Amino acid sequence: MDYKLTRLEPVRVFHYFEELCSIMRPCGHTGEAAAYLVSFAGSHGLRCKKDDYGNVVIYSGATAGQEDAPTVILQAHMDTYMSGADRHDILKTVPEINYIDEYVFSRGQSMGAESAISIAYILSILESDEIEHPAIEAIFTADEGDRLRGALALDVSGLSGRFLISIDERNESQILTSSAGGLSGKMYVAVRYKEDRGEKYKIIASGFQGGHSGTEIHRCPGNANIIMGRLLHFLSSKVDFRLKSLTGGLMPNAIPRGAECEVILDKEDTGDFESLIQDFERTIQNEYRANEHNISIYCDYQGYFEEKVLYKRTQERLVFLLNTVPDGIQKISQEAVTYGLVQSSINTAIMRLGEREFFLESTIRSSITSEKEALSDKLRYLTETIGGRYEEYNEFPAWEYKNDSVLAPFVAGIYKSLFGKAPMVTGVHAGRECGVFAEKMPGIDMVSIGPDIIDAHTVQEKLSIASAQRVWIFLLEILRSFKSL
């Protein structure tokens, strides 16, 4: 292997970083990374366990003087999102790592820097005979990016640590102390069709900025599915149209950027119909003028057709659901540490009108478990009220902020003493593996830290060298000071 980062300090951290970047480890393909970690443990005489799912745990005893310090769990995930790689050759397309000035990068492909640097930190600590540290239980999970599956499958009964440091943050100035839990609520409503004829139009709502429902929902972007439902309600009081098709959204975690439907109406209503669409577009563009700049809502005439369309009562139920389903920010945190952050939200992510059922999927997130459950109950109640059925799936637990955390102020104090400024102790509305550990290990005290990574998971991904160096110093000082915790 042609190493390019050999001049960077700390040498061993960047050595392991580069080796890990050479191992392709997208979700579902972390076997080679796990084998690498097992081999590392064997070559350094460290006890190691690999479970059936592919998670790896490595154990290291305390160094001299730290025997009485509490055991610390260091945690990282192995998998990454390999943006830019050819999907047909994703396990062979090795990133070409290099650095210029302040950043490590890879041309035309993401490096998987977030997981690579976190694992590199831990391995550099475990191999050293000079770094002072308490007893360590190092957890390396598989498939974090696939609904936290590795962490959910991990058996934690053999772990004794009650303090956990997750190296999974991309902003050095932040110490995370909470994350949202979530679930997807699936709503199904039976539909019936009849034959009809008339002028067919396709209605398109597009150009919405979208974004990740965990990290972008605080920007209050327009939701194309909700806007389409509102448009159908607006039209229903003005013209007699019959709904043929309805679709919107692509992924459960993505705020929908577009939606479309097809309708049939009588020829005498077409003039009013086209004018109403234009009026509605102007209304929505005005309402979202502060944060949406490319909204386009228009209709496209298809011709005269005989088609299957929804019965009127069926159509009314669907329009009712789309206009009453909760969406967007539901509650803002009032906690001192997470004040102003989104606490609970719903993203009406996917809608599909099929031959027998209308399907609507919403992603619920909340850093308070009871609020997540209450929002799911609301979706269930609404769906069942109109004769539909409701299912929950893909649930993952919240990492609730601990007012009595000992670790958070301890870690924040060390950062300030080292670098002369206080970090932001905060939370995130996206899911984190810490939520799984919080549920499996009641009472565990956790933080998540990490160096600055710009444009993570994209082909523009960059790791700040200076930040990676500071976080290394930071992490070593945390471990050295653990005996005073």
Query: Residue 88 above 70 pLDDT?
Result: no
pLDDT at 283: 98
pLDDT at 83: 53
Q: What does the alpha-carbon distance between residue 195 and residue 113 come to, in Å, rounded to a whole number?
A: 56
pLDDT at 12: 97
pLDDT at 182: 95
For the whole model, what pTM was predicted? Answer: 0.86
Query: Residue 90 above 60 pLDDT?
Result: no
pLDDT at 294: 96
Query: Residue 84 above 60 pLDDT?
Result: no
pLDDT at 142: 97
pLDDT at 147: 83
pLDDT at 165: 98
Element housing 76 (H / E): strand 72-77
Torsion over CA: 309, 317, 390, 227 (sign): positive
Closest CA relative to residue 343, chosen from 362, 379, 324, 369: 369
The pLDDT mean for the chain works out to: 94
Bridge partner residues of 428 (DSSP): 179
Greater pLDDT, 110 or 39: 39
Q: What does the alpha-carbon distance between residue 231 and residue 225 come to, in Å, rounded to a whole number?
A: 10
Residue labelled with tokens 């605080």? 218
Q: What does the alpha-carbon distance between residue 176 and residue 166 come to, in Å, rounded to a whole number?
A: 9
How many alpha carbons lie under 13 Å from residue 178 in its C-beta half-sphere? Answer: 27
- Pairing state of beta strands 462-464 and 103-106? antiparallel
> By the 8 A CB rule, do 139 and 440 touch?
no
pLDDT at 91: 57
Phi, psi at 26, each rounded to 5°:
-65, 165
String of DSSP letters for 196-250 = EEEEEEEEEEE-----BTTTSGGG----HHHHHHHHHHHHHTTS-EEEEEEEE-S
Q: Around Cβ 193, how many Cβ atoms within 10 Å?
A: 17
What CATH number labels 183-396?
A: 3.30.70.360
Mean pLDDT of 45-74: 97
Q: What does the alpha-carbon distance between residue 219 and residue 359 come to, in Å, rounded to a whole number?
A: 26
Confidence grade of residue 355 (pLDDT, cut at 50, 70, 90): very high
Confidence grade of residue 85 (pLDDT, cut at 50, 70, 90): very low
pLDDT at 93: 67
> 79-88, 269-278, 459-468, 475-484: lowest mean pLDDT where?
79-88
Q: What does the alpha-carbon distance between residue 330 and residue 377 come to, in Å, rounded to a whole number?
A: 14
For the chain, the structural domain boundaries read: 11-180+399-484, 183-396
Confidence grade of residue 305 (pLDDT, cut at 50, 70, 90): very high
pLDDT at 458: 77
pLDDT at 275: 97
Q: What is the CA radius of gyration of the chain?
A: 26
Can you read off the two tokens belonging to residue 267? 């020829």
Confidence grade of residue 87 (pLDDT, cut at 50, 70, 90): very low
Q: Around Cβ 243, how many Cβ atoms within 10 Å?
A: 25
Residue labelled with tokens 């390396």? 140
With 0-12 / 13-18 / 19 or more C-beta atoms within 10 angstroms meaning exposed / middle / buried, residue 304 is: exposed
What CATH number labels 11-180+399-484?
A: 3.40.630.10
> 243-252, 330-339, 409-418, 436-445: lowest mean pLDDT where?
330-339
> By the 8 A CB rule, do 37 and 142 touch?
no
Q: What does the alpha-carbon distance between residue 293 and residue 448 come to, in Å, rounded to a whole number?
A: 35
| Alpha-carbon distances, residue 481 vs 65, 87, 299, 451 (angstroms) | 11, 45, 65, 20
What is the share, in percent, of the chain residues with pLDDT greater than 70? Answer: 98
Q: What does the alpha-carbon distance between residue 170 and residue 449 come to, in Å, rounded to a whole number?
A: 8
pLDDT at 173: 96
At residue 310, what is the residue type?
L
Confidence grade of residue 89 (pLDDT, cut at 50, 70, 90): low
With 0-12 / 13-18 / 19 or more C-beta atoms within 10 angstroms meaning exposed / middle / buried, residue 23 is: buried
Torsion over CA: 263, 257, 253, 341 (sign): negative
Element housing 13 (H / E): helix 11-21
pLDDT at 436: 96
Residue 10 is given by DSSP the state S
Closest CA relative to residue 375, chosen from 228, 223, 184: 184
Can you read off the two tokens belonging to residue 280? 């509605």
Can you read off the two tokens belonging to residue 50? 């690999």
pLDDT, tens digit, 9 for 90 and up, residues 432-461: 999 999 999 999 999 999 999 998 877 788
Q: What does the alpha-carbon distance between residue 475 and residue 115 come to, in Å, rounded to a whole number?
A: 16
| Alpha-carbon distances, residue 166 vs 21, 37, 155, 195, 200 (angstroms) | 19, 17, 17, 58, 55
Query: Residue 110 above 80 pLDDT?
Result: no
